[in-house]
Amino acid sequence: MRAAILSGILLSLSLPALFGNFPLHLGELAWIGLAPLYVTLASEEKPGAGLWKGFLCGFPLYGISLYWIFIALHIHGGISVFFSLLALFLLVGISSFYLGGAMALAIFLKGKGLPLAWAFSLSWLFQDWLRNYFPFGGFSWSSLAYSQGERLSLLQIADLAGPYGVTFLILISNILIGEVFVFLKKKEKPPYLLAIFFTLLICGTLLYGKFRSNQIRHGMTSLPEKKLSLVQGNVPQSQKWLPDNIEELIQGHLELSQKAEKEYQPDLIIWPEASYPAVMSHDVSRFNLIDVLKTPLLMGIVSYSGVVPDEWPPPPGWEFHLYNSAMVIRPGGYLEAMYHKNHLVPMGEYVPLSGFFFFIQKLVPGLADFTPGDGFNLLEVSGMKIGTTICYEDLFPEISRRFVREGADLLVNLTNDAWYEKSSAVLQHVEFSRLRAIENRRYLARATNTGVTAIFDPLGKEVARAPLFEQTVLSAPIRLGGPATVYGRYGDWFVYICLLATVFFVLTKLRMR
């Protein structure tokens, strides 16, 4: 039991963390943190024991790494301490149950004759993949792949197998360490084959990373270049939606934008998610407050369609829809193009199963009920075809892949992480964008309210990065387009093949009996 808890603690510490102004990156712990759990599972025969130990591993893993959810819900969401803690507890519990189910599956497969090393890695990958989609659209935050942002040479395989390929490498390392301890304890056959396999896998990954990096770097020189300026307004969440602050906040963003126009002459200026601090009809044709800019602007805004209700929530049947949007504004303040966020945040932007969770609206009277967008349309401006993700849409690889398949030659993420204050969420969130850039071999510009505002090249390297929690503008050149990737074309093929191979193995074993 203690071994499982130890694994959870070590894995939570492997993810990026922020304590006040002090960042902490201990990604190397991911390569050893799972070994205690593996060793304790090696002696188990009952799936129920795997369920319990997996759950015990998951609770500290997700409890420590996701603590910031309480900050967002209580401090800025207006939810009581009790219900904020309850929501955090439920999310951690559900995520831990996934991990417990995976370890129960590993023990079950071991009982069917599958080697534990295979059963363990397959089961972990499966729950990692499942968490990306279920429940309520998924929440794969704290996946091990996002602990390796400082190891770019290893991350290059993401253009083949996505985050699951990176996670697989980490799993094999932990399994090898675990097998060594099992050998020392039981004096069984040393894990020579596993050691050889891991050595070949790591060497192959590093060689691929070097080859692919040189190939991509050489190819980028022939791609068209554009200049971007990303505005980081650093507006406290408590001040963002006060009616008296609207003009002041817009003016602050405009001054930074005009400074960029004067000093850098960018092709596009980008403001973060909901940076326009007023709810506007998406039928508006002109924004008078920002008509002074001479450069096209991509900005985040809350928009609506229909008739504004006199009360909230609107009466049943009232035709009114809120959207978390990205808009392109051309010089003069004229609306050029628009994208509505597709993947909404459960309990933040909408209430899933609202008929069942009817009481949520009463607990949080100001909870907005957003409408998801109906497509993944590109925003075309200044010769760029932009795939725009809003907030945590960059957590989901399939969304960025979809944009690139639609023809995006640049990826942009608009985010407001002021919800989380100075917490680990700020450094954890940025790693999603890094991996999306590598998976699709596209530049990715990440414009945020408080940070991390950054631009990643197709190798996942930071071209530029703004200081956290400062009002500033980040300007840098980018290049458009890039090669198609295996992961971009075929998605999660690696997980599917692992699942099919396991099913085939189990069926073969059963037939032999």
Catalytic residue flag (residue 273) = yes
pTM over 0.75: yes
The kind and range of the H/E element at 434 are helix 425-440
From the list 210, 222, 208, 227, the residue with the least C-alpha distance to 266 is: 227
The catalytic residue among 341, 349, 421, 431 is: 341
Answer for the pair 176, 201: CB distance below 8 angstroms, yes or no.
Answer: no
What pLDDT score was predicted for residue 363? 57
Higher pLDDT, 364 or 248: 248
Cα–Cα distance list, 513 to 113, 233, 307 (Å) = 11, 66, 67
The catalytic residue among 273, 349, 393, 439 is: 273
The catalytic residue among 44, 110, 391, 421 is: 391
What is the rounded average pLDDT of the residues 171-187? 91
Burial class (CB in 10 A: 0-12, 13-18, 19+), 203: exposed
Calpha distance 330→449 (Å, rounded): 22
Pick from 209-218, 235-244, 251-260: least confident = 235-244
Answer for the pair 355, 326: CB distance below 8 angstroms, yes or no.
Answer: no
What pLDDT score was predicted for residue 21? 80
The number of beta carbons lying within 10 Å of the beta carbon of residue 360 is 17
In the chain, domain spans: 2-219+491-512, 226-303+321-342+375-482
Q: Which residues pair with 276 in a beta bridge?
A: 301
Tens digit of each residue's pLDDT (9 = 90 or more) over 319-362: 888 999 999 999 988 999 999 999 998 877 777 765 555 555 55
412: left (phi over 0), alpha (psi -120 to 50) or beta: beta
What pLDDT score was predicted for residue 365? 53
CATH of 226-303+321-342+375-482 given 3.40.1280.10, 3.60.110.10, 3.40.50.720, 1.20.1090.10: 3.60.110.10
Calpha distance 365→357 (Å, rounded): 14
Catalytic residue flag (residue 391) = yes
Q: Which two tokens stand for residue 441?
A: 């071999």
